[in-house]
Amino acid sequence: MLLESQSEDKRETTLIWKKLWYTLTVVSLSVVVLLPFISDTIVKDTSIATRLLSTILTGVAIAFGAKSTTLLPVPTQLSKVLQYVGNISYSIYLVHWPLIILSKYLDIFTPYYVLALVVAIFALGIAQYTLFEKPLSKLDAKHVYAVVLLLV
């Protein structure tokens, strides 16, 4: 009877921790996603703090997300989507910075434009992944070097 009670308490504690990890992951990601839509004056006046906060919260989301996936099963469809986003992430990384700098140079940073910019970044990242990264990853080293030499 005592062992059953301890086992039940342990399961309940584990469930509470699962929910906590999951909640912290969702909250962290939500704040990071919503940061660009905060008032322009707040973001401009605290750009270093905003960058620091988004970096820390992204790290927290990754850490909690890694922990919560071992505790909470991720639905198969969501898992496939997350895997695809992980695959295209490097292409998105390469594309995002030039587009953001161009937007700042043109001084067209409005909330609606930011949404269009995010869509454009994802679209160009997907195109770059599909047209360049994925096909090049299937080539052997000799062919990759040949492509690099042609591009240089």
* pLDDT number for residue 74: 59
Q: What is the pLDDT of residues 79-113, one digit of tens each?
A: 677 788 888 989 999 999 999 888 888 887 777 88
* pLDDT number for residue 33: 72
> Please, which pLDDT band fits residue 4 given cuts at 50, 70 and 90?
low
In this structure, how many other beta carbons lie within 10 angstroms of the beta carbon of residue 57?
19
The percent of residues above 70 in pLDDT, for the chain, comes to: 71
In this structure, how many other beta carbons lie within 10 angstroms of the beta carbon of residue 125?
22
pTM over cut 0.85: no
Helices (H), 35-140: 40-45, 47-71, 76-106, 111-128, 134-137
Q: How many CA atoms lie within 13 A of 110 on its CB side?
A: 3
Q: Which contacts of 148-152 are long-range, i.e. CB under 8 A and separated by 24 or more positions?
A: none
88 vs 56: CA distance, rounded Å: 22
> Please, which pLDDT band fits residue 124 given cuts at 50, 70 and 90?
very high
Q: How do the domains of the chain map onto residue ranges?
A: 1-73, 76-152
What rounded mean pLDDT belongs to the chain? Answer: 76
Q: Does the pLDDT of residue 14 top 90, yes or no?
A: no
18 vs 73: CA distance, rounded Å: 10
Amino acid (one-letter) located at 108 = I
* pLDDT number for residue 114: 81
> Please, which pLDDT band fits residue 150 given cuts at 50, 70 and 90?
confident
Distances (CA, A) of 13 to 10, 16, 77, 141: 5, 5, 28, 51
Mean pLDDT calculated for residue range 41-65 = 69
Mean pLDDT calculated for residue range 54-67 = 69
* pLDDT number for residue 120: 93
